[in-house]
Chains A and B, each alone.
Chain A
Amino acid sequence: MKKRENFFFTFFIFLLISIFILGIAKSGLIGSALGFAENLLEPVGETVSGLTNAVFGINENEKLKKLESENRNLQKKIVELRSLDRENNALRDQFKTQYPKSANLLPAKIVGAQNFIPNVTVPDVFLLDKGVKDGVKTEQGVIFENNLVGKVIKTSVNMSLVDVLTNKNFSFTAKTSKTQAQGVIKGNGNNEMIFDNVLLSEKLEDSDIILTKGDLNINSLGLPPNLIVGKIVSVDKKPSSLFQTAKIQSLLDFTKLETVFVVVQN
């Protein structure tokens, strides 16, 4: 009986503490403490995420090399140099791209990419290493070259959470590049989107590129127009339906992204 009372007492104590922390977190009073904790955990998350990508992405040749004990240190250095090289290429490619302007872009590393099965299913959200102190705000678009990656949905002092555009919770207006047919993109999970609410009178063609229509609000937050969303892989047009739909696939491989860019100014 005493043991049971001890359990109830402990449960209530921790429940009250959790509710108290929830309350002060909602009021925003623990911003700096949270920022400190994020700084501690962010490198851990980045390391775990990077290790998982390395393990799942490793090919047979690299497996053989790593098994040779005398090449182990050299291999580690090669991986580090390649990582730096990829980051430089991503930055170089981004700043060659004319739109959006490079001055309006903030590079951010993906430190967390939760998904059902790593490297098989596409992540639904990305955790970036930039937050409020770097100028990131909710509703800002996230891109790679001029391809849309997603939208910032939550921010904290040092990090931000991005809904990937194939996430089922994500939808936005878009248009086709050839015929300017307008509709709504809805995430369908696992690297697929549906281009919905397109009038039957509009023409949709396979392999046509879908662009964002732009949904900037009065504070210039939102998705800029004319960013590449993906390409049409199939069209579903039934005369009996009100609208026609199309399946869209992104041109990006979200499982391979390491650096993305937040559109901080429009």
Chain B
Amino acid sequence: MKILFLCFAFLIAVFFEGAVISVPLVLDFILVYYVFERKAWIFALAFILGLILDIFHLRLLGATSIFFAVFIFIITLYERKFEIKTTAFVLFFSFIGSLIFLFIFKYNYVLQQALISSLIAILIFKIFGRIERKNC
């Protein structure tokens, strides 16, 4: 059930971000998923999703994958210093990550979109938390 939800969620996120909205949904999903699972293969997932987003947006292939990889790596560095499975951590890092992502890739409404992105990240965090509690 969890795997199905994850696959469906990531697919929806990447296709929505690719064709419809500019809010970095995939970044939020990757952040929240890593916060819960902390598995090394998140890098592979981030790599593939980054490539798909680059194809949709006609960006230089690999650019988004590099950003996602570095983003997750920075989170792993903070893992030892902070408790990362908290709302505050997700809110802060999704906001900062989205802000930098939107700035680097030259989107408009950077601040507003980063705020919306962090709220979406919190929502995804709560949903993941609920699914995890049901599976326990």
Evaluate contact between B108 and A11: CB separation under 8 angstroms: no
Number of A-B contacts (CB under 8 A): 126
Evaluate contact between A113 and B20: CB separation under 8 angstroms: yes
Evaluate contact between B65 and A14: CB separation under 8 angstroms: yes
Evaluate contact between B55 and A37: CB separation under 8 angstroms: yes
Known: A41-B52, A45-B19. A161 touches B57 (CB 8 A): yes
Q: Closest residue of chain B to A20, judged by CB?
A: B62
Evaluate contact between A11 and B73: CB separation under 8 angstroms: yes
Bound-complex Cα distance A7 to B107 (A): 31
The residue that A115 contacts in the complex, of B21, B55, B60, B106, with Cβ under 8 A, is B21
Interface extent on B, as a size class?
35 or more
What residues of B have a CB within 8 angstroms of the CB of A79 in the complex? none
Known: A14-B47, A49-B20, A168-B108. A41 touches B66 (CB 8 A): no
Task: Report B100-126 residues with CB < 8 Å from chain A CB.
Answer: 106-109, 112-113, 116
Evaluate contact between B62 and A49: CB separation under 8 angstroms: no
Interface-located stretch among A152-160, A192-200, A216-224: A152-160
Verify if A84 is at the interface (C-beta below 8 Å from B).
no
For the complex formed, measure the closest distance between the CB of B120 and the CB atoms of chain A, giving whole angstroms.
Answer: 13
What residues of B have a CB within 8 angstroms of the CB of A10 in the complex? 40-41, 43-44
Interface extent on A, as a size class?
35 or more
Q: Could you tell me the dominant secondary structure of chain A's interface residues?
A: helix
Q: Closest residue of chain A to B54, judged by CB?
A: A25
Convert A1-18 into 0s and 1s, putting 1 for each residue whose CB lies closer than 8 angstroms to a CB of B.
Answer: 001101101110111011
The residue that B72 contacts in the complex, of A11, A17, A44, A160, with Cβ under 8 A, is A11
Evaluate contact between A25 and B19: CB separation under 8 angstroms: no
What residues of A have a CB within 8 angstroms of the CB of B72 in the complex? 11
Verify if B87 is at the interface (C-beta below 8 Å from A).
no
Sample of 21 A–B contacts (CB below 8 Å):
A3-B40, A10-B44, A11-B72, A17-B47, A19-B66, A21-B62, A22-B60, A25-B60, A26-B60, A41-B18, A46-B19, A48-B19, A112-B56, A113-B19, A116-B108, A116-B113, A121-B109, A127-B58, A154-B58, A160-B58, A167-B108
